[in-house]
Amino acid sequence: MRKHQISAVIITYNCGDILKKTLQAIEWCDEILIVDSGSTDQTLDICRQFQCNIYSHPFEGYGKQKKYAVQLAKNDWILSIDGDEVVSSLLKDEIEELFSIENVNEQGFFLPITLVFLGKIFGYGNENKTLHLRLFNRKFGNFNESTVHEGIVLEGSTKALKQEIFHYSYLNVHHYFEKFNKYTSYFVIDASQKGKRANVFKIIIRLPIDFMKYYLLKKNFLNGYAGFVWSVFSAYYTFVKYVKLIEYQKEKK
């Protein structure tokens, strides 16, 4: 029997396509807390079906939104997942066993996250069981305030768990490029605030190099057709975000 209560925390915006699976997989948590930034699809109706605690808050960036959500939770132990992620039953069992003892030595746990893209579960490469700090005690940390590619800043010991979360990030290619445009624009905001600069020469030479990195070095060729497409898209993502940064720099001159 679990000795420590857990709040599952999710920020949402029009993520109804996968959300039902996401919530079904975390019904065992003691609280499911949602912070929504104005969904217009079935997202909130699905959340109500699962008796989630729902809050509305304008979106100010992923880091700030998740930090705000963590502060609203009833419990100190936080399981932070996205609305397109599904906790495996094996990971649920691993967490339940881990928290069955009175004294948990760690303050945070890295969870393996595996991409599901074009219907393919990535069994190889950088998107297979990538470790992310997602289960933590908020007494010892919280999210930073990065606009995109946010992370948890934690003071204390951590441990990696073995079982995984499945990430259904993109429904199809159209959906990929909808998110692609949003994330590359968020990158420009974050990079400009940090004083990052883009170099035209580096952008030109890195596109083929990045593809080879993702496809060969990261072993996405072992993921078949989906791995090839992912490698092309990933290289192009880096290319576009720096092209946008150069455009922004020119506009500011």
SS3 category, 180: helix
Going 58 to 186 to 67 to 163, the CA torsion angle's sign is: positive
∠ at Cα 146 (145, 151), nearest 5°?
85
Over the stretch 71-121, which tens digit does the pLDDT of each residue have?
A: 999 999 999 999 999 999 999 999 999 999 999 999 999 999 999 999 999
**How many other C-beta atoms can be found within 10 angstroms of the C-beta atom of residue 2?**
16
∠ at Cα 180 (143, 209), nearest 5°?
100
CATH number belonging to domain 6-167: 3.90.550.10
**pLDDT values of the chain reduced to their tens digit, one per residue, 253 residues:** 899 999 999 999 999 889 999 999 999 999 999 999 999 999 999 999 999 999 999 998 999 999 999 999 999 999 999 999 999 999 999 999 999 999 999 999 999 999 999 999 999 999 999 999 999 999 999 999 988 889 999 999 999 999 999 999 898 999 999 999 999 998 998 888 888 888 888 888 999 999 999 999 999 999 999 999 999 999 999 999 999 999 988 887 7
In terms of Cα–Cα distance, which of 64, 82, 12 is closest to 40?
A: 12
Q: How far is CA 93 from CA 136, 175, 187, 221, in A?
A: 17, 32, 36, 32
Domain boundaries, the chain: 6-167, 173-251
What phi, psi does 194 have (nearest 5°)? -90, 0
SS3 category, 54: strand
Question: Where are the extended beta strands (E) located within 118-192?
Answer: 120-121, 130-137, 141-143, 152-154, 158-160, 165-167
Per DSSP, what are the bridge partners of residue 104?
Answer: none
In angstroms, the CA 154 to CA 133 distance is 9
74: its two tokens: 């009833």
Contact yes or no for 73/34 (Cβ under 8 A): no
Residue type, 181: N
